[in-house]
Structure 1
Amino acid sequence: MSKSDAFAEAGKTAVLQNIQGTLQFLRHYPPFEQMDDTELVFLVEHCQLRFYAAGDSIVKPEDGRVEYLYIVKQGHILGQRLNTAGSMENALDIAVGECFPMGALVGERPTRTDYLAAEDTFCLQLQREAFARLLALSPPFRDFAMRGVSSLLDQVNQQVQLKATETLGAQYSLDTRLGELATRKPITCTVGTSLRQAVQLMNEHHVGSLIMVDEQAYPIGIFTLRDLREEIANGSGDLAQPLDQLMVRDPFHLPPSASAFDAALAMTQRHIAHVCVVDDKRLVGVISERDLFSLQRVDLVHLARTISSATSVGALAALRGDIAHLVDNMLAHGASPAQLTHIITLLNDHTVSRVIELMIAQHGDPGVPFTWLVFGSEGRREQTLHTDQDNGILFEADSPAEAEHIRQRLLPLAREINQALDQCGFTLCKGNIMAGNPELCLSRQEWTRRFAAIIHAPTAENLLNSTIYFDLRPAWGPTEGYQALLDALLQMVADSTLFQRMMATNALQHRPPIGRFRDFVVASRGLEKDTLDLKVEGLTPFVDGARILALANGISESNTLERFRLLVAKQVMEAKDAASFEEAYHFIQLIRMQQHQHLEREGKPLHNRLDPDTLNTLDRRILRESFRQAQRLQNKLSVRYQL
């Protein structure tokens, strides 16, 4: 072989090695790990490797239409944008394996962001025409280009559901529409049907419910096997009596567009086992709890019913372990973190209500109407398996003397309730934010004065209290006094721009754990070394931001995601921003719940600290992006309140 041939052969080998090395690099990062070899080879063959020194501008708005896609191979990129105050701020933090500026390239427009090398950086550069050909060639790449992080979240959710399904064997998603599930024609009867005829119909068709309809096929009543058992137990035995004297009138119904989750939630809240599916005022189907959950598993409706009929605190405590199983079950059926926290909170509400009923039965009715208030995560309907008590009592009184008299009657019962809840897994609050505390067993006038003191004197302690007490709702008892208290709170916050500003300042204390030149900022010493706090550093920035903006704009809803949606409806927040915040919040909550499940299975105490090195590449990337969204929300608060 001649020297020139040897050089040529060595050159080919080097090129092949370089291609293989780049292919191996890309296979570690989404969306490239979802692409097949043909698509990746095309990408690599049409890429060039470019070097940028620290501080170099890579692409900026003044450059005009974007001509290249950049993939960070080594180094770190910052994306800067002009804020409403007219100054540049860091809007994006782009690490190894990520690409930019995708949106501008797809839209064939200039970028709105100035991309700078934060350190010496190497990027793979793909020219615009090759980018367009790759979009046509690769469905995973096209999906990512069009949907960004949303497409990656779909991958995560599919992996979570697949993992749970391997154990539980789910066959459908809780997002499945009722129109798809209610495929069997409902068995119906009309006015004049006797009990005997109803039982015969149910037996012939092997169904557990019979729907009575009017002339237009609208459901006017439902009769179930449970109703039949109760009738027999009551000793009537008159099979000739009309069914319309025994049935439950005006059965609950949902449209075909409603989801399986909507049906499950309704069954749980209303303690019913069947939901009618009505389209244009006409019965088209019936969904039963058996349709939603296999009898071989702990199911949501049965668990809620069992909790609400428990005969002792010990029985309730024993049922708490079933909720962890239920979370696995719901994940396998495609439940989102928001749905799961809603379900957990709903079951917790059933537990709280039953504990109150049992304690009243055991220790006597105080003879005074009262409302059991819940605060914090329970107030927001965002509880996970790891929770403690944050509660109080609201009652009506005409004078300070009467308020003190009522308080002394309620406090012994409140303390018994707090202790019983502790036995059921709701640990006692270390800060004594519990109804058994005299300072939290108050008349409506006293609660109003307490809230006014927090707002008019925004000390550090009061600002901390606002993050707990201002996420409130009633869990048991009359709601009229609560609504009046909430209306007063919203008016007081709206009237105090100083308090709003102080709340925003306080919210900025919980910074998301990402640094400028590394993936995550973790604890450097002690038992928490190399970990970050998913709740305080990840979820709290979203919770705080949503609370401030909601209270300032008269929004009474306490749930974080509902607050975002209502802020969009009031045009306080852009829909695109709210969607990004919701996705980020969902993902951090999902990682947190997975960690709680893992700890629960191993019998370890539940906590919120995570070592990010235990995550796979996809989860790390989306977690980092989710923390960036928290930073964006905090930046918006800074600009809005000029902080």
Structure 2
Amino acid sequence: MNSIAEHIADFLKEYPPFNHLTFQELSEIATSIRVVNLEKHKILFQINDVLHDSFYVVASGVINLSVIADAEETLLNKCHVGDIFGLRPFFAKNNYMMTAKAREESIVYAIPIATFRPFVANNSEVLNFLLQSFATNTPNPKDKENSRGKLISDNVYYSDQQSEMQYFQSLNYNNSPLKTIITSTVIEVAQLMTETLMNNVIVCDNNMPIGIVTDTDMRSKIATGRFPLTASIDKIMSSPVITVQENVSLAEAQLLMLKHNMTHLCVTQDGTNKSAVKGIISERDLIIAQASNPGVLIKEIKRSQSPKDLKQIRERLADLIQNSISKNIPLSHINNIASEINMALIKRAVELSILELGSPPARFAWLSIGSQGRKEQLLLTDQDSILIFEDVIPDKYRDVKDYFLKLGKKTTVTLEKIGYELCPNGHMGSNMLWCKSLTDWTKQYNSWMNTPGENSNDLSSIFFDYEIAFGEQKIEEAITNTVFKNAQNNTLFFDFLGNDALRKNAPLTFFKNFNVEEEGPNKNKFDIKTRALMPLIDGARLFTLNYNIRGINNTYLRFKQLAITDVKNSEIYLNCAEAFLILSKFRTLEGLKNDDSGQFINLNELSKIDKEKLKNALNPMKELEELIKSKFQLTQFS
């Protein structure tokens, strides 16, 4: 083996998924690898380019991956040494959906897919790694702690939105496939395929699949004279058939075709070849499905003209969430996708109001606060928002505020029609209190944070979880600067927030039973929102503000980031992150089942295992509580 190939194999064996291969296998791959030198800002491939025959690993330097959305370029991910990118040709037939560009002088290794494919097919570790990388485009899905801090930018997750969405999507396929029996002759089957205009047929025994014949088999085995037309069909069929269950997702189907080098999959009742045939999935079905994924939902939202259109899309999102959960897709992924779609819906609601009212008289920002601001709104919960407009001269103030109150009112009405209930506490941009100028908002935050005891009755901690849905980014940044400036060494504020976080009732009684509601419509149910999720949400927010961690609002990602920032307590934070996902999943399942916000869990409907799982997820809260008390020197009654 030449020394360059040896050097490449040595390099690759340090990084996943290559570390799952033997040195012998790596050496074999390394001999066909191309070394690509890229100058600074050189583009390797861009959106809509035809797919290359290779995927890439960064050997030195940094490669930026970006997409163009709304006419501006958005950086999705930075790939550092050892990171894999450009996996699209493995899993898809259409063109690139993002641009890869060298951020500095870089060297990448181009690994030919044809060379690498057999190693994928024979090694499930490698296959799973590639699939997860493709689905999330995070550098290394196995590397939970992500020491390089890649999680800092939480939009790493949306990297190639289209591809991630495919991971979840259910497929439409032919559910009345052409079938034949093993004793049929080739000529009979060929006539049948011609009459029905089908390019494939499943060979069955007792309605169970034993083989498949496609146009390609007819061409390569019959037209070439290898077998006579009178041969029985089993002579030319491909066997065994690769079978899948009915609710297979797009990505799973793509993987199986890739793994077995097949163009068709057979759908059976239980996913094995020992049960009845229900349908057939072709490569063409996959290509069609790629056109109707949630990336497309977002495009549809942008084109929608009425609340009715938007409501239909919101209902399709509920199906998507349900499907994703049933396929055990990680909740953090589902959250990201749902929040992107929710945000697009809110943004469109604001745009429709502007189309009706005419151009705004000043620049402004519509911020989602609370669960949507934290990107945790999987279920239809109430809407929480604030509206901030830029400062205007005193003479104009009233007219400007009038316009924005009207805008707030129209938008909240539209959102209500889409299915987001009005906030019972009135935390909405249509409320005089929460629609005001930047200076007024700055004063509001100053007063909340510097004299929290006096104004505590209207200080809701959800005002510290916000995400811009529409408008001027600089306005959001100005609020963030105010918040973090006031937070510095502000003992009074942290004392207040800390006690607020500790005030929630314990989720378990002294005897380790669930603390359930004692009266009212939810009697004997467990309030998972107030007793389990809120203490984690409050704790994550408290520490994030205290450690000056900006730009991360999501509770799960806040805990992941805290584990990097405050290393000595990292275990507590990581346990809390995990607990938060488990509890959120319980809440989501309850909400999907009852078509509500999932706040109250009916414990009688949980299995014994689920009850244990729920109880165990409450354990990290005690540690978090102790950490809050010691960090902010709080007794419960300070």
TM-score by length of 1: 0.56
Matches within 5 A, 1:384-395: 384-395=378-389
2:339 pairs with 345, 349, 360, which one? 345
2:459 pairs with 465, 474, 481, which one? 465
Note closer, same or farther for the CA distance 1:625–1:217 as it changes in structure 2 (3 Å cut).
closer
Note closer, same or farther for the CA distance 1:215–1:636 as it changes in structure 2 (3 Å cut).
closer
Which residue is 1:109 aligned to?
none
- Counterpart residue identity of residue 465, structure 1: L
1:260 aligns with 2:255: no
Which residue is 2:523 aligned to?
529
Which residue is 1:211 aligned to?
50
Which residue is 2:444 aligned to?
450
1:597 aligns with 2:592: yes
Does structure 2 retain, via aligned residues, the 8 Å contact 1:393–1:441?
A: yes
Which residue is 1:639 aligned to?
630
CA RMSD of the aligned region, Å?
4.1
Which residue is 1:282 aligned to?
none
Note closer, same or farther for the CA distance 1:214–1:431 as it changes in structure 2 (3 Å cut).
same
Which residue is 1:586 aligned to?
581
CA–CA separation in structure 1 for the residues paired with 2:291 and 2:526: 35
CA–CA separation in structure 1 for the residues paired with 2:96 and 2:325: 34
Matches within 5 A, 1:320-339: 320-339=314-333
CA–CA separation in structure 1 for the residues paired with 2:459 and 2:503: 15
Matches within 5 A, 1:194-343: 210-211=49-50, 251-253=98-100, 258-262=133-137, 265-268=158-161, 295=289, 299-343=293-337
Task: Kindly state the Cα deviation for residue 321 of structure 1 after the two structures are TM-superposed.
Answer: 1.3
Which residue is 1:492 aligned to?
486
Does structure 2 retain, via aligned residues, the 8 Å contact 1:211–1:221?
A: no
Q: Deviations over 1:384-419 (max 9, x none)?
A: 213111111122215555444421222212211111
CA–CA separation in structure 2 for the residues paired with 1:222 and 1:625: 40
Which residue is 1:625 aligned to?
616
Q: Deviations over 1:165-189 (max 9, x none)?
A: xxxxxxxxxxx99999xxxxxxxxx
Counterpart of 1:258 in 2: which secondary structure?
helix
Task: Kindly state the Cα deviation for residue 367 of structure 1 after the two structures are TM-superposed.
Answer: 3.6
1:559 aligns with 2:398: no
Note closer, same or farther for the CA distance 1:178–1:460 as it changes in structure 2 (3 Å cut).
farther
Note closer, same or farther for the CA distance 1:541–1:375 as it changes in structure 2 (3 Å cut).
same
Task: Kindly state the Cα deviation for residue 356 of structure 1 after the two structures are TM-superposed.
Answer: 1.5
Task: Kindly state the Cα deviation for residue 299 of structure 1 after the two structures are TM-superposed.
Answer: 3.1
Which residue is 1:204 aligned to?
none
Task: Kindly state the Cα deviation for residue 269 of structure 1 after the two structures are TM-superposed.
Answer: 8.6
Does structure 2 retain, via aligned residues, the 8 Å contact 1:271–1:304?
A: no
Unaligned runs of 5+ in 1: 1-175, 181-207, 224-246, 275-288
Q: Deviations over 1:257-304 (max 9, x none)?
A: 734144983454999999xxxxxxxxxxxxxx9998983997322222
Structure with the bigger RCO (C-alpha within 8 Å, sep 6+) is 1
- Counterpart residue identity of residue 251, structure 1: M
- Counterpart residue identity of residue 589, structure 2: Q
Which residue is 2:572 aligned to?
577
Task: Kindly state the Cα deviation for residue 492 of structure 1 after the two structures are TM-superposed.
Answer: 0.2
Which residue is 1:67 aligned to?
none
CA–CA separation in structure 1 for the residues paired with 2:538 and 2:448: 16
Does structure 2 retain, via aligned residues, the 8 Å contact 1:531–1:609?
A: yes
Counterpart of 2:50 in 1: which secondary structure?
strand
- Counterpart residue identity of residue 628, structure 2: L
Note closer, same or farther for the CA distance 1:222–1:533 as it changes in structure 2 (3 Å cut).
closer
CA–CA separation in structure 1 for the residues paired with 2:55 and 2:588: 47
Structure with larger Rg:
1
Q: Percent identity?
A: 24
Does structure 2 retain, via aligned residues, the 8 Å contact 1:397–1:443?
A: yes
1:432 aligns with 2:426: yes
CA–CA separation in structure 1 for the residues paired with 2:542 and 2:317: 32
- Counterpart residue identity of residue 408, structure 2: A
Which residue is 1:63 aligned to?
none
Task: Please identify, of 442-451 and 362-371, the stretch whose mean Cα deviation from structure 2 is larger.
Answer: 362-371
Note closer, same or farther for the CA distance 1:349–1:250 as it changes in structure 2 (3 Å cut).
closer
CA–CA separation in structure 2 for the residues paired with 1:624 and 1:413: 45
CA–CA separation in structure 1 for the residues paired with 2:475 and 2:18: 37
Does structure 1 retain, via aligned residues, the 8 Å contact 2:354–2:407?
A: yes
CA–CA separation in structure 2 for the residues paired with 1:179 and 1:362: 58
Does structure 2 retain, via aligned residues, the 8 Å contact 1:395–1:443?
A: yes
Q: Deviations over 1:37-75 (max 9, x none)?
A: xxxxxxxxxxxxxxxxxxxxxxxxxxxxxxxxxxxxxxx
Note closer, same or farther for the CA distance 1:405–1:290 as it changes in structure 2 (3 Å cut).
farther
Task: Kindly state the Cα deviation for residue 607 of structure 1 after the two structures are TM-superposed.
Answer: 3.8
TM-score by length of 2: 0.56
Q: Deviations over 1:484-540 (max 9, x none)?
A: 220121110223111101111111111332012142121223322211111111100
Task: Kindly state the Cα deviation for residue 456 of structure 1 after the two structures are TM-superposed.
Answer: 2.0
CA–CA separation in structure 1 for the residues paired with 2:354 and 2:162: 22
Does structure 2 retain, via aligned residues, the 8 Å contact 1:372–1:474?
A: yes
Q: Deviations over 1:552-597 (max 9, x none)?
A: 1211221112221222222266221111111111110010011111
1:545 aligns with 2:539: yes
Does structure 2 retain, via aligned residues, the 8 Å contact 1:268–1:304?
A: no
CA–CA separation in structure 2 for the residues paired with 1:293 and 1:212: 15
Task: Kindly state the Cα deviation for residue 616 of structure 1 after the two structures are TM-superposed.
Answer: 1.4
- Counterpart residue identity of residue 586, structure 2: I
Which residue is 1:512 aligned to?
506
CA–CA separation in structure 2 for the residues paired with 1:615 and 1:213: 50
CA–CA separation in structure 1 for the residues paired with 2:319 and 2:583: 21
1:362 pairs with 350, 356, 362, which one? 356
Counterpart of 1:348 in 2: which secondary structure?
helix
CA–CA separation in structure 2 for the residues paired with 1:265 and 1:385: 20
Task: Kindly state the Cα deviation for residue 312 of structure 1 after the two structures are TM-superposed.
Answer: 1.6
Counterpart of 2:542 in 1: which secondary structure?
helix
Which residue is 1:185 aligned to?
none
Note closer, same or farther for the CA distance 1:401–1:545 as it changes in structure 2 (3 Å cut).
farther
Unaligned runs of 5+ in 2: 1-15, 21-46, 58-62, 68-93, 102-107, 109-129, 139-156, 168-282
CA–CA separation in structure 2 for the residues paired with 1:261 and 1:569: 21
Matches within 5 A, 1:34-53: none
Counterpart of 2:404 in 1: which secondary structure?
helix
- Counterpart residue identity of residue 611, structure 2: R
Which residue is 1:236 aligned to?
none
CA–CA separation in structure 2 for the residues paired with 1:629 and 1:313: 42
Note closer, same or farther for the CA distance 1:362–1:262 as it changes in structure 2 (3 Å cut).
farther
CA–CA separation in structure 2 for the residues paired with 1:463 and 1:214: 62
Q: Deviations over 1:135-173 (max 9, x none)?
A: xxxxxxxxxxxxxxxxxxxxxxxxxxxxxxxxxxxxxxx
CA–CA separation in structure 2 for the residues paired with 1:579 and 1:290: 43
CA–CA separation in structure 2 for the residues paired with 1:251 and 1:407: 41
Which residue is 2:409 aligned to?
415
Note closer, same or farther for the CA distance 1:393–1:524 as it changes in structure 2 (3 Å cut).
closer
Note closer, same or farther for the CA distance 1:585–1:368 as it changes in structure 2 (3 Å cut).
same
Task: Kindly state the Cα deviation for residue 622 of structure 1 after the two structures are TM-superposed.
Answer: 1.8
